Amino acid sequence: MNTHVPAFDGLEIQTGPEPSWTVIWLHGLGADGHDFEPIVPELVRPGWPALRFVFPHAPVRPVTINGGAPMRAWYDIRSFELSQRADEAGVRESIATVEALIARENARGVPDDRIVLAGFSQGGAIVLSAAVRHSKKLAGVVALSTYLPMAENTTAEASEANRALPVFQGHGTADPIVPMSLGSQSRDVLVQLGHPVEWHTYPMPHSV
């Protein structure tokens, strides 16, 4: 293992020996890596190559909108105002965490173009931000009930290697936490950047 990559805090599930593909999946606010553990058998199909699912735990930090209570979070949420929602320093710190996780998979023999980034809510915001900036071509992104933070910086910071990266976006039409309008605005930014976005809406609240 690459000694420059921090110790891994989370869990992993392999669907077979010597996985040749990896899915790095980030949970939402207040949850942890176990949140999406049950989804693996629902996604995997017979005949697929061996996959490694990596479910990291976000660090514990105070969250402003929850009265400063400490909980697992990829970044602080400072306000219910959408323009002030994401703490940029925290977002960039978590992007660096994703970069370290990608490097960890590279060290285990999985190239960037066989790595899918997936995330729900806060986790989705981080994987979208990380994917568009990553310097090597990835396999794709799954972004659920989420949005693209720092959208105003994205065009200048986007990587040419991932301009055509496919994105799956799913959003609930009755989501009271991340309004569907914010998800669709993020979709439009991604399309303008050249990403083929597969956009799906579902009659549901903020859930999977």
The catalytic site residues sit at 121, 175, 206
Cβ burial of 184 (10 Å; 0-12, 13-18, 19+) is middle
Q: Which helix (H) or strand (E) holds 105?
A: helix 88-107
Query: Measuring CA to CA, how many Å separate 121 from each of 17, 56, 87, 145?
Result: 31, 15, 15, 5
Quick one: which of 127, 149, 150, 147 has its CA closest to 138? 127
Q: Which two tokens stand for residue 123?
A: 């986790």
The distance between the two most distant Cα atoms of the chain, rounded to a whole number of Å, is: 48
Percentages helix, strand, coil for the chain (3-state, rounded to 5) are 35, 25, 40
DSSP letters along 7-18, please?
A: PP-EEEEESSSS
